[in-house]
Amino acid sequence: MAPASPVSGWRKSSFSQGADNCVEVGRTAGGAAVRDSKDRAAGFVVADRAQWASFVAALKSDRFSR
């Protein structure tokens, strides 16, 4: 799914400590985009606001812990 608006403000987590093997998050008018910092040319995945909020809530609740 391509965003209706350009992606801006790409950033990596401060936990990455300058490493290149992380994901980056950018803003779109309708939500967020995520890409691999090692292969930015491969494209990105887009989530609308509701999807992004659900994903962040799941992260914060440790839903993806091993």
Q: What domain range is 49 assigned to?
A: 8-60
Judge whether 42 lies within some domain: yes
Judge whether 23 lies within some domain: yes
Tens-digit pLDDT profile for residues 10-59: 998 777 777 777 889 999 999 999 999 889 899 999 999 999 999 999 98
pLDDT at residue 4 in the model: 57
Contact 19, 39 (CB under 8 A): no
Judge whether 66 lies within some domain: no
Judge whether 30 lies within some domain: yes
Judge whether 2 lies within some domain: no
Contact 30, 4 (CB under 8 A): yes
Q: How many domains does the chain have?
A: 1
Query: Residue 10: what are its φ and ψ, rounded to 5°?
Result: -55, 135
Strand extents, DSSP E, 1-66:
8-12, 23-28, 31-36, 45-48
